[in-house]
Amino acid sequence: MTATHVVDHIHDQPMSEVALRSVAIEALLAEKGLLTADEVQRQVDLMDGRTPADGARVVARAWIDPDFKARLLSDARSALGELGIEIPADTPHLTVVENTEDVHNLVVCTLCSCYPRMLLGRPPDWYKSLAYRSRAVSDPRGVMAEFGTVLPADIRVDVLDSTADMRYLVLPRRPEGTEGMSEEELAALVTRDSMIGVTSLSG
């Protein structure tokens, strides 16, 4: 089936403009011999298989291994490779930012929905919404309060704008009273929202 036939066929089905464009591009790439349908499906399955558990594993390791944390903050791509998480060279740069007693980081993509999918999977709908993209910049504390996070006034909130060339992952503060926990137990405490920055694990 050629790209033209695919487009003709899907016109008969209720699809959004974005979905229509995606299917047409996939069919055109297959028609040109650049990709096969199986290769596209493998990439879709790979992305669908990514979850925030990957990011949580990274955070837990950083909590228990100061040397790993230092490497993660200075060269995230290399540090992730130590955990078997490979980030292809042609993907956007990943920067990991650490929440501290003085600074809390909040990630937003003001233009669209740029997001560290390789560690967190698909972004939540609210992350892609215009309301979040605008209010995270103009009223970050108000947005976090709606997620149940109210920070002391003396903690600075840094809003980081994710772009097509740069992705951010927040390294949340380790909760108090977790000193005796294993790495697996710590990873279970880490939430997707804490790695975006709309919530805090430290109370």
pLDDT > 50? residue 33: yes
One DSSP character per residue, 107-145 reads EE-SSS----HHHH-SPPHHHHSHHHHHHHHH-HHHHHH
Q: Is 202 part of any domain?
A: no
Catalytic choice (109, 162, 194, 200): 109
How confident is the prediction for the chain on average, in pLDDT?
Answer: 87
Range of the domain at 18: 3-48
Verify that 37 and 103 share a domain, yes or no. Answer: no
Q: How many domains does the chain have?
A: 2
Residue 129 annotated in active site: no
Verify that 79 and 145 share a domain, yes or no. Answer: yes
Please give the structure tokens belonging to residue 21. Answer: 């464009």
Instruction: Please tell me the distance from the alpha carbon of residue 91 to that of residue 126, in angstroms, as a whole number.
Output: 24
pLDDT > 70? residue 182: yes
Provide the H-helix boundaries in 32-129: 37-48, 52-64, 66-74, 76-82, 117-120, 125-128
Residue 74 annotated in active site: no
Residue 162 annotated in active site: no
Q: What pLDDT is stored for residue 203 in this prediction?
A: 65
Contact yes or no for 37/167 (Cβ under 8 A): no
Q: For 173, which DSSP code?
A: P
List pLDDT tens digits, range 103-162. 999 999 999 999 999 999 999 999 999 999 999 999 999 999 999 999 999 999 999 999
List pLDDT tens digits, range 1-15. 443 443 444 345 566
To the nearest whole percent, how much of the chain has pLDDT over 70? 84
Q: Is 40 part of any domain?
A: yes
- Report the CATH number at residue 168: 3.90.330.10
Q: What pLDDT is stored for residue 20 in this prediction?
A: 73
Report pTM: 0.79
More confident residue, 9 or 81: 81
Verify that 25 and 108 share a domain, yes or no. Answer: no
Catalytic choice (74, 78, 112, 134): 112
Verify that 157 and 62 share a domain, yes or no. Answer: yes
To the nearest whole percent, how much of the chain has pLDDT over 90? 69
Verify that 78 and 162 share a domain, yes or no. Answer: yes
What confidence tier does 24 reach under pLDDT thresholds 50, 70, 90?
confident
Instruction: Report the length, in residues, of the chain.
Output: 203
Verify that 92 and 104 share a domain, yes or no. Answer: yes
Q: What pLDDT is stored for residue 23 in this prediction?
A: 75
